[in-house]
Chains A and B, each alone.
Chain A
Amino acid sequence: MIALFGIVLLVAALALGLPVAFSLLLSGVAGLMLIGGAPMVLGILETAPAASVSSYELITVPMFILMAELMIVSGVADEMFEVIGRWVQRLPGGLAIATALSGAAFGAVSGSSTAAAATLSASSVPTMVRRGYNPRFAAGVVSISGTLAMLIPPSIALVLYGLLSGENIAALLVAGIIPGLMVTLVIISTVLVLVWLDPKIAPRSADIERLEARHWSAVSFLVLFVSVTGVIYMGVATPTEASALGALGAFVIAAIKGRLTLRTLKGAVFKAAQSTAMIAMIIVGAQVFGYFLTLTQVPQQIVISAGALDVPPWVILLVILFIYLVLGCFLDQIAILILTVPVVLPLIIQLGYDPIWFGVVIIVMAEIGLVTPPVGLNVFVVSRYTGVPVEDVFIGVAPHVVAHLFAIALLVLFPALVLWLPSTM
């Protein structure tokens, strides 16, 4: 009963527009008050806030965010589209394919899907529209390609999942590589099918767009990718150390490219600091709410109840994935991870599934949440940057949502797609 009270209070606070972090804090404290009274609440409030942010592994999150912001400052992210566009623009839907590959490349040096969508919007949509591409189709490809940053290492979402689940963060990041490439291929395949069905949406122009050669961008991108994901895979540095090296690498690249001024540096660091404060405050709130949830024994009861059900594990898994799909329509991906992982993961382990595999699968589910109405953040970002109406972007991205569900089905049927690469570390 107390657990229900806490959860209802949390939902009400979220619905009324209280920041997620404060909603967790408030409902957690209210629930703890009912269970253990003021002494218990004071004891937790004395230690939880400082302890939550003093974790060494948590440093990975701000450093990956800083790396992404500095890469945006460097301009390399913008130029990647031109580099890749030169290679593939002769193919049917070539610039849309270039957008998907640029999304993957941006994802390999940044963990932020929203930043990827914004950057891709600015660089690829104007070129596609100039070449006569259907704006709805162009904006749809950009929205879905932006989500790749969430999966391809360095992924902030996977680091957070690692912090929440206690799983090996290096293995999680490496586990995202093959699914990331697979999802990229799924986006490209969807583009090819859509162009095959209606060639007018991506006309093949006789005169090839003169996209500038940006070899320097390609080299700096490769250096940064190797210095982060490469060192994690080879075990040269921990993900936390690699994140700081990555931020430093992005800093150096931005400086060499002459883009690093006091103003741009301040902008990048301030943005990174705000994103970190937002995430860390949610972690503080979730820590307090987590104490409450643990004391109510809700996660254990869910595990016991689900274990007693007379249905095969995959049915329960499908229900869980469906719940993630619905949650993704209404909640931010970070909030979903923090709210659900402590409750759902024990059940997943009980069902016999691998927690690293599950982490990657729910990140791919979260990617769908970024492009589905009513709160598909990437769609709003792309609409704002390109001027394509929100509803048109939602329509444009719909075929990719269906294709993404197909990709998830493959990951569920063949867990080795996720687990093979980390097993070679």
Chain B
Amino acid sequence: MKAIRTAIGSVEDVLMFFAAASFIAIMLIMSADVLFRYLFSSPLAWAFEVLTRYLMPAAFFFAVSYTLRRGEHLVVEIFHSMMPIKARSFLLGLLYIVATAIIAVICWMSIGTTLGSWRGGEQFVGAINWPVWTSHLIVATGTAVLTLRAVEITISLFIASATGVEPIRSSHAEEEAI
């Protein structure tokens, strides 16, 4: 279980690096777009497509699983902390099974859309005709890793429901050390 957790974590770390790079790129490209428009009356014609089709999806989908691992997704904590750990973990595990299945479906659909766009040679119409499949690939990759992380959390929750010991949710200590 630890090896699986580490393996998923390594992929998440790599994706998070790309998400962070997308953040910096969004900041620089959008600022450059404004400056070019005012200083040279020549905005970056390709900026809108790159920002909305690639960089925003990358900034989100590449960070979403890492965020789940760090326990940074918003949770209403007040009620479930009142329940005994075994019952709480079991019920939450059941909900996670359904949530994981839904994320897996989103991933599966995204893979299908990616392949469809690739085979069809679809392109975004704009200043530069960017390929559509690369944008879908970002969604498919992010949700694939999110599915794996959700599976790992589901298993941890059922182990916790059997043992009564809080699941090891994330490598916080390791993250803090960065």
List the interface of chain A (C-beta within 8 A of B): 13-23, 25-26, 29-30, 42, 45-46, 49-50, 53-56, 58-59, 62-63, 66, 236-237, 240-241, 244-245, 247-248, 251, 266, 269-270, 272-278, 280-282, 330-332, 334-335, 374-375
Contact = CB atoms under 8 A, between A and B. Distances in A.
Given A18-B96, A45-B106, A63-B27, A241 B75 contact: no
B95 A273 contact: no
Given A272-B23, A334-B74, 13 more contacts: A16-B88, A18-B75, A18-B96, A19-B68, A19-B73, A53-B60, A53-B61, A54-B53, A241-B30, A241-B31, A241-B33, A244-B34, A277-B63
Contacts, number: 171
B174 interface: no
B57 to A, nearest CB: 6
Give the secondary structure class of B's interface. Answer: helix
B29 to A, nearest CB: 8
Contacts of A240: 30
A42 B109 CA distance: 8
Nearest to B52: A54
A270 B76 CA distance: 23
20 contacts: A15-B79, A16-B91, A17-B75, A19-B74, A20-B75, A26-B98, A45-B109, A49-B106, A53-B57, A53-B61, A55-B56, A244-B27, A244-B30, A269-B23, A274-B66, A276-B63, A280-B64, A332-B74, A335-B74, A375-B78
Given A19-B74, A332-B74, A273 B19 contact: yes
Interface string B58-70: 0111011011101
Contacts of B16: 270, 273
Nearest to A245: B31
Contact of B63 (A54, A55, A273, A331): A273
A10 B120 CA distance: 39
A157 B116 CA distance: 38
A330 B78 CA distance: 8
A54 B57 contact: yes
Nearest to A242: B34
Contact of B64 (A50, A59, A63, A281): A281
Nearest to A54: B52
Nearest to B23: A269
A276 B19 CA distance: 10
Contacts of A270: 16, 20
A112 to B, nearest CB: 14
Contacts of A20: 73-76
Main secondary structure of the interface of A (DSSP, over half): helix
Contact of B76 (A14, A42, A49, A62): A14
- Size bracket of the B interface: 35 or more
Given A18-B92, A266-B178, A330-B76, A273 B20 contact: yes
Interface in B69-105: 70, 72-81, 88, 91-92, 95-96, 98-99, 102-103, 105
B34 A237 contact: yes
B74 A282 contact: yes
A244 B26 contact: yes
Interface in B119-178: 135-136, 139, 143, 178
Contacts of B64: 277, 280-281
B96 A276 contact: no
Contacts of A14: 76
B92 A56 contact: no
A331 B76 CA distance: 7
Nearest to A251: B27
A21 B67 CA distance: 12
Contacts of A59: 26, 30, 51-52, 56
A59 B52 CA distance: 8
Shortest 8 CB-CB contacts between residues of A and residues of B: A17-B80, A244-B30, A19-B73, A277-B63, A277-B67, A15-B79, A22-B99, A273-B63
Instruction: Give the interface centre of B77, B78, B88 by most chain A CB atoms within 10 Å.
Output: B78
Nearest to A52: B60
Contacts of B135: 50
B48 interface: yes
A281 B67 CA distance: 10
A26 B95 contact: yes
B113 A274 contact: no
